[in-house]
Amino acid sequence: MNAIRGIAASPGIAIGTAVIVAESLSQVSFRQVAPEEVAEERTRLEAALAESAAELTELRDASAATMGREAAAIFDFHLGLLRDRSLVGAIVADIEREQVCAEYAASENFVKFADRLRALPDPMFQERAGDVVDLERRVVSKLIGASGKRLKDLGGPAVVIAHELTPSQTAEFHRAKVVAFATDAGGLTGHTSIIARALAMPAVVGCKDATVQVEDGDLVIVDGDAGQLVVRPDEAVLAHYRALAHRSEARRGALREGADLPSVTRDGTTVHLLGNIEFPDEITAVLANGGSGVGLYRTEFLYLTSPRVPTEEEHYRAYARAVELCAGRTLVIRTLDLGADKYTQEHLEEPERNPFLGLRSIRFCLQNPALFRTQLRALLRASALGPIKVMLPLVSNVMELRQTRMMVHDLCEDLDEEGIRYDRNLQIGIMIEVPSAALMARTLATESAFFSVGTNDLIQYTLAVDRGNERVAPLYNGANPAVLTLIKASVRAAANAGIDCSLCGELAGEPLFTCLLLGFGFRTLSMAPAQIPAVKRVVRATTIEHCELIARKVGSFDSDRQVLSYLQDELRKVDPDAVNLDG
């Protein structure tokens, strides 16, 4: 038995059979195979090479007919590489000698081959390195596709073990078969973790080398409460975890029972608890957990789960469905937050060097006006069906808000000419996710209909800590006084300007922070639906007066440790069960 420590990304305990999935082309997982599996890996490789050759022959013939012989010669070169014994022979030799899976052997040797070409003095050979990379993608994706297909043929409950998973891969898991997952990479507020929580699927990320330590078919336990992956447990450990799983489910059941009670503090202040969603159908879960609407609908998932760019109609249908399910309740729809770890890099020939500081979110939309207009027009049309608020992600200066408003204004004129109805008072608000926005909150508040503080990004940009990087995960901390100062400045600026300010980062769903946030002045918190009952319990057990006292006290601390231990003590007084659940 072996226990691998990671980050508790999504709560719950699940027991199942490990399925190793190598899904990221840039990071094909290393997987050792048993001696008796070597022949099967060779066969998989041969099948992938044959399938690639058939595709390339077809491509060559089609391009010869339409684009001429020069274009066709490129594919002839690819075909030639597939027959190159020094390349293919080296892949086979690695499978046999090193006993590694076919995708790893193929990827390694393609990369080495490309490096050799790049090192040659003749520029003609250097350029060919790009062809080798292209061919690698073709062949390796076939091998990986095969491991993806294996997921569909699973019998019992499976636990996916991967180096890294994209948010869309996670969203597409077959729920009846995949009960949990664990990854080598990733952090608590990475989007894959957020999806896991939305699916209520136990998950542990940042395990560093789970794909090396776990073998396909191993019995594993994902402990999403403690952040642990247990490999090949003995009977006693299994029994212990079965009992834990039972207790954890009972606790969640008890919390859900109080979900429908009013979200009001003991001294009579209403706190709006809303849900964060990625797909309209999650609204059912928001309401079932006692939420009073949607505070963040991450619309980029329309892109992330589709092989092509969604049309205006597809956008419209999704928003119309959300309006219908919300039935008049609050519905805040965020415009596309693409970029960084979401979507755009896979579609670029040359990925950005620093994508989290690059062309993402509102910047990406403003530089792709056709794509942005499609979404804004669909949003305007859907606003005729029921209340909608539009929220812009990652605004870092006032010009981005003004430019968007101008686009919306032009679109309204078009709709007027076409006689199409829309909400003439559509509210456009912004997320406060970067320090520049928090520091300029007073100015932004004069032009924005509302704020929502996105702490997931605000923490990473304030502390210069990548939210998805397991190596710096301990530094990523919402209790850091610098972060708290910016949160407080944002909510104060909003109050002074008379606009609403909610908080929709993962911090909103942590009972540990509930009193502090109420003390800062927040009256709306938006979170993963499953977190609503636990936060509501704290709201109902406290008073605003006490929360304000907590906020004042926290203002005098200078380290995150002090803040955390004080908040833990306070929460223990208000709701001891919540502390047990957290810790």
CB of 337 to ligand PEP, least distance (A): 5
Q: Residue 570: name its binding partner from ligand PEP, Mg ion, none (Cβ under 5 to 8 Å by kind).
A: none
Which of residues 185 and 340 has its CB atom nearest to ligand PEP in the complex? 340
Paired residues of 330 in beta bridges = 293
* Interface characters, 495-524, with ligand PEP (x: CB under 6 A): ---------xx-------------------
Residue with tokens 């304000």: 548
Q: Residue 163: name its binding partner from ligand PEP, Mg ion, none (Cβ under 5 to 8 Å by kind).
A: none
List the catalytic residue out of 78, 101, 163, 191.
191
CB of 505 to ligand PEP, least distance (A): 3
DSSP states along 477-505: -TT-HHHHHHHHHHHHHHHHHT-EEEE-S
Q: Residue 455: name its binding partner from ligand PEP, Mg ion, none (Cβ under 5 to 8 Å by kind).
A: ligand PEP
Which of residues 16 and 505 has its CB atom nearest to ligand PEP in the complex? 505
Q: Residue 504: name its binding partner from Mg ion, ligand PEP, none (Cβ under 5 to 8 Å by kind).
A: ligand PEP
Which of residues 241 and 297 has its CB atom nearest to ligand PEP in the complex? 297
Task: Clarify whether 504 is annotated catalytic.
Answer: yes
CB of 333 to ligand PEP, least distance (A): 13
Angle formed by the axes of helices 38-67 and 123-152, nearest 10°:
120
Angle at 13 between CA 566 and CA 258, to 5 degrees: 60
**The only residue of 184, 433, 500, 570 in contact with ligand PEP, by rule CB under 6 A:** 433
Q: Residue 505: name its binding partner from Mg ion, ligand PEP, none (Cβ under 5 to 8 Å by kind).
A: ligand PEP
Residues that bind Mg ion in the complex, under the rule CB under 5 A: 433, 454, 457
Q: For residue 427, give the H/E element and its range.
A: strand 427-432
* Distance of alpha carbon 527 from alpha carbon 299, whole angstroms: 16
CB of 378 to Mg ion, least distance (A): 22
User: Scanning residues 449 to 468, which ones bind ligand PEP (CB under 6 A)?
Assistant: 454-457
Q: For residue 242, give the H/E element and its range.
A: helix 235-257
* Interface characters, 294-333, with ligand PEP (x: CB under 6 A): --x-x-----------------------------------
Which of residues 108 and 337 has its CB atom nearest to ligand PEP in the complex? 337
Tokens representing residue 157 in the block: 């409950």
CB of 262 to ligand PEP, least distance (A): 26
* Residue of 456, 471, 470 whose CA lies nearest to 527: 456
Q: Given the DSSP bridges, would you call strands 450-453 and 427-432 parallel, antiparallel or unpaired?
A: parallel
Which of residues 233 and 275 has its CB atom nearest to Mg ion in the complex? 275
In 381-426 the beta strands, taken as DSSP E runs, fall at 389-392
* Residue of 404, 320, 393 whose CA lies nearest to 360: 393
How many other C-beta atoms lie within 10 A of the C-beta of residue 466?
A: 18
**Exposed / middle / buried, residue 113 (Cβ in 10 Å: 0-12, 13-18, 19+):** buried
CB of 265 to ligand PEP, least distance (A): 24
* Phi and psi at residue 41, to the nearest 5°: -65, -40
Which of residues 456 and 514 has its CB atom nearest to ligand PEP in the complex? 456
* Distance of alpha carbon 416 from alpha carbon 405, whole angstroms: 16
Question: Is residue 337 close enough to count as binding ligand PEP by CB under 6 A?
Answer: yes
* Distance of alpha carbon 429 from alpha carbon 444, whole angstroms: 10
Which of residues 144 and 296 has its CB atom nearest to ligand PEP in the complex? 296
* Distance of alpha carbon 195 from alpha carbon 277, whole angstroms: 9
* Distance of alpha carbon 525 from alpha carbon 508, whole angstroms: 6
Task: Clarify whether 191 is annotated catalytic.
Answer: yes
Q: Residue 228: name its binding partner from Mg ion, ligand PEP, none (Cβ under 5 to 8 Å by kind).
A: none
* Distance of alpha carbon 410 from alpha carbon 432, whole angstroms: 26
Q: For residue 21, give the H/E element and its range.
A: strand 13-21
* Distance of alpha carbon 188 from alpha carbon 205, whole angstroms: 8
> Nearest-CB residue to ligand PEP?
454
User: Scanning residues 186 to 215, which ones bind ligand PEP (CB under 6 A)?
Assistant: 194
Which of residues 171 and 194 has its CB atom nearest to ligand PEP in the complex? 194
CB of 476 to Mg ion, least distance (A): 14
Question: Is residue 341 close enough to count as binding ligand PEP by CB under 6 A?
Answer: no
Active-site residues, by number, are: 191, 504
Positions in the binding site for ligand PEP (CB under 6 A)? 194, 296, 298, 337, 433, 454-457, 504-505
